[in-house]
Structure 1
């Protein structure tokens, strides 16, 4: 990424009023880099106080997919470059925010089709077309989201175009409009105002635009001195699970230390950024914890650096490559998928945990994609799963509301007969899967599966990552919270209290069966003890529990 040389060659002391394909390539690179630098800020703007906010990760992965399409390209035609970006973003889109961002680039590139260069007017027209395409891509657009930020920005840029003499002026107005629109999102979407946050997708789009401006201003893109922060040590590991392992991230190094003097965070981060990536710093009980991913040659560099700042009390080193390999092998060996014959109906299902994958496989799923709240699969992953099945009749179970858009996007890219069942959680997905008849009538099976979504209530129990009040429910950071059919409904101090309160909230006495899928953050013995308590309270109910293996969520519960 030779951004500096590209910037110097581009500016040459004059005003930039026209961009070639290679300059747009640098623009995409800058927007991607700046979004990556601010990824955790966007992730933290999760409305619900759950440890799985992943909008920043989804948008970044989508942008990186677009960038990968042009990373080695020497193409000078602006329209050709942008068409490649749009295609990459489409196939790499993850989550609702990623799908909308891919539609942004689709519209933007459409306006630039066959254009050899991009001038100020074309940029404005491309923003407007991006806005129109993104809105059309959402069935029921909601204001106060990334869509609003895109609309406000495109409209403002169009109105101010005559006052802009070059791209610096234009990008300054673009950033200004996006920032003002983001700040206004809580006034348009009450749930944001209740949570005390702005829209995360809109904020991600703002950072992409701001990356464009920083590129022109020759400002750093890999570190933001304004976001250096310390988080509680107890929360550091929770966010890490959402991270993907990138090339050069061979080892994870965690160092606990007590500094000799007051820790100056800005230069501390600067030095660590020279050593590795995925830097986090936590504080608690009078000590600090530093987390970093490093290549093999830098494995001891962060330790040696911190030893010069104070007393090192504990060091932990994990081989990330070996961990990823173990996960891959484990996934391949833990379940057997149902064989599919040509002409049969098969199912592609998204699963958040290894245990849930085994259950889905036992119920007849032909292909399983690992993913969920913290790891939304891309459009391309879903499309590949559909195309790899040896049949032309496929049903997709997203099992997460944030994956439905990507699934709908995927089916537009295949010639097979494919239907998406709008399962918003695992209980709904399993309920729908029970209606599968591989040799049945496709339309009838799809209809039956959709109707099955109404047969089950769902519950999710996790831990709050922020103090907030939503829908009248007061939540303190660290409390146990319950999501009922997608809505935050209560908070308690223990998992046991939350489980019992949820069953009362859901009026479980009106149902017959309770199924609990427990996550990888709670021991089976503890689960068994709680299940026995539930059985004592509801002796006439059929109660069973299974290992789900999902991260973050102690329990995913189905009530039927």
Structure 2
């Protein structure tokens, strides 16, 4: 079979197949996580990200490959979860820009688009690491371009992409020693290869090698929860802008010649019609979300630049009545604050802890479920503040938070906190009367001066940094690195504390989770007070899963 030109309809089918193949094997990708901790979520994050992108291509249903790729890119962007999901979105963001405006692409143009995606992804990562998804994407794209110089068949080029992707994936343990030590290939690279394999299977008309599992539509769930949270703080009579209005503007050349499009200008035009405004655009399309009282005026404004598609207008007053039962005593929204702080937390107690020291909005998420870019964007809007500070509190959420900051209309600062203790320390340093730069500096500095310890259990046998680990052993992590392991929980706890506490330590905060017993907490406090008499111990019930104990050392 020979395919010399690829159109949007066929590319959309490729995306669907790639998403399905990844979904069917997401658990396998999760299992490739280097650390044997119960948060191996690379497959989950990439799967949810691809699901979001695939949904957009399914809705586009058009032969224009540039527009289909752009829809895919936007879906990936808003659904991106974790570092792997964000990098995946950046790969196809560059890809889509490379073929923007094209009705069809040749084999060489397709290969060049993969290479353009690699360049975009590398730029998006502050410190690119070889032996990861980036390397697999780079090597595969390079081989595809080389093949396309002498081959016009799209199938042959994608075969080269997959072949070199597999070879590059097999080489990742040679580039990252930790992969070699554990005996696995890179999980993100494996996820990307699954997507590419899905592309190839669709082009060749072959069945995917794995049975597919039913997938939950996360995008609809996210939207439903967002609107529920917005309405729960309103009286029907107090909803100033009653219609949640979403649509996309497909730019038209004749209209742009009369009204040149500027995202900033368009955002300013729409801001007068309502609130909760979000505008995302590129050379071909603009996506709008706004709460407006007169949605017709909003749509008319958009029509100046092109035709309207994917229009959705919902009456929030009716939704509010349905959800709250028309409760006349519902709490009224506060006036727009100068600052809002969005924190990501796992565990009701941890969430309450952040709220008690000043967080205005807490997103549920963490090790096993990273919030998406869209989740964070909506939290930023729901904070209803002029300037919003985001505390990711997990290294896998930082990139999604930074991406959310880029697309949000609000002024946003991301403090790159990697742990709950870092986030709490940063929030304590927050000054609601200070300026943005001073707060950024103070919060970043405070987060760097706290040490984090965590206790969890191993999900498999492995060996890391010379430490032999058995499945179900208790592991002690210091600053994210496994430093102790033992089949007895409390032995692991005391060994970890011995490594974390020094003569300069003043306070040890114990945040205990769902799997911790009261007697164990009391034992820890006694141990700290007896062995380190100059150190004070504080205790909080975090109710977090998977990690019975989190320690903040200050």
Please tell me the TM-score bracket, short chain as reference: 0.7 to 0.9
Number of matched residues? Answer: 445
Partner of 1:210: 197
In structure 2, relative to structure 1, the CA distance for the partners of 1:556 and 1:183 (3 Å cut) is same
Alignment of 1:283-302 (within 5 A): none
Match of 2:493 among 499, 520, 542: 499
Match of 2:155 among 137, 157, 168: 168
- Is 1:100 paired with 2:119? no
Match of 1:49 among 36, 60, 72: 36
Deviations 1:246-268 (A, max 9, x none): 7999xxxxxxxxxxxxxxxxxxx
- Is 1:537 paired with 2:531? yes
Offset at residue 222 of structure 1 (A) = 7.2
Structure-2 separation of matches of 1:372 and 1:499: 22
Partner of 1:472: 466
Note if contact 2:48-2:218 (Cα within 8 Å) is conserved in structure 1: no
Q: How big is the alpha-carbon RMSD for the aligned residues of Structure 1 and Structure 2?
A: 2.4
Offset at residue 244 of structure 1 (A) = 6.8
Partner of 1:352: 346
Q: What SS is found at the alignment partner of 2:86?
A: helix
In structure 2, relative to structure 1, the CA distance for the partners of 1:244 and 1:428 (3 Å cut) is farther
Partner of 2:206: 219
- Is 1:181 paired with 2:173? no
Offset at residue 60 of structure 1 (A) = 0.7
Note if contact 1:340-1:346 (Cα within 8 Å) is conserved in structure 2: no
Structure-2 separation of matches of 1:196 and 1:74: 42
Note if contact 1:460-1:483 (Cα within 8 Å) is conserved in structure 2: yes
Structure-1 separation of matches of 2:189 and 2:99: 23
Structure-2 separation of matches of 1:361 and 1:132: 40
Alignment of 1:402-417 (within 5 A): 402-417=396-411
Deviations 1:418-463 (A, max 9, x none): 1111110000000000012222222111111011012211011111
Q: Which aligned segments of 4 or more residues in structure 1 are displaced greater than 6 angstroms?
A: 243-249
Partner of 1:365: 359
Structure-1 separation of matches of 2:525 and 2:409: 46
Note if contact 1:345-1:439 (Cα within 8 Å) is conserved in structure 2: no
Match of 2:392 among 390, 398, 406: 398
Offset at residue 410 of structure 1 (A) = 0.9
Match of 1:24 among 11, 14, 27: 11
Partner of 1:35: 22
Offset at residue 353 of structure 1 (A) = 1.2
- Is 1:15 paired with 2:21? no
Partner of 1:454: 448
Partner of 1:377: 371
Partner of 2:126: 139
Deviations 1:475-497 (A, max 9, x none): 12221111111211121111101
Deviations 1:485-543 (A, max 9, x none): 12111211111011100111113443111111112223334333443344333344211
Note if contact 2:511-2:539 (Cα within 8 Å) is conserved in structure 1: yes
Offset at residue 163 of structure 1 (A) = 4.3
Note if contact 1:345-1:440 (Cα within 8 Å) is conserved in structure 2: no
Note if contact 2:394-2:420 (Cα within 8 Å) is conserved in structure 1: yes
Offset at residue 19 of structure 1 (A) = 1.9
Partner of 1:263: none
- Is 1:522 paired with 2:509? no
Note if contact 2:161-2:196 (Cα within 8 Å) is conserved in structure 1: yes
Offset at residue 164 of structure 1 (A) = 3.1
Structure-2 separation of matches of 1:348 and 1:199: 31
Q: What SS is found at the alignment partner of 1:400?
A: coil
Deviations 1:276-330 (A, max 9, x none): xxxxxxxxxxxxxxxxxxxxxxxxxxxxxxxxxxxxxxxxxxxxxxxxxxxxx9x
- Is 1:84 paired with 2:71? yes
Offset at residue 546 of structure 1 (A) = 1.5
Q: What SS is found at the alignment partner of 2:516?
A: coil
Q: What SS is found at the alignment partner of 2:128?
A: coil
Alignment of 1:190-205 (within 5 A): 190-205=177-192
Structure-1 separation of matches of 2:431 and 2:334: 12
In structure 2, relative to structure 1, the CA distance for the partners of 1:248 and 1:511 (3 Å cut) is closer
Partner of 1:437: 431
Partner of 1:236: none
Partner of 2:552: 558
Q: What SS is found at the alignment partner of 1:510?
A: coil
Note if contact 2:528-2:535 (Cα within 8 Å) is conserved in structure 1: no
TM-score when normalising by structure 2: 0.76
Structure-2 separation of matches of 1:245 and 1:354: 25
Note if contact 1:346-1:438 (Cα within 8 Å) is conserved in structure 2: no
Q: What SS is found at the alignment partner of 1:556?
A: strand
Partner of 2:235: none
TM-score when normalising by structure 1: 0.76
- Is 1:128 paired with 2:128? no
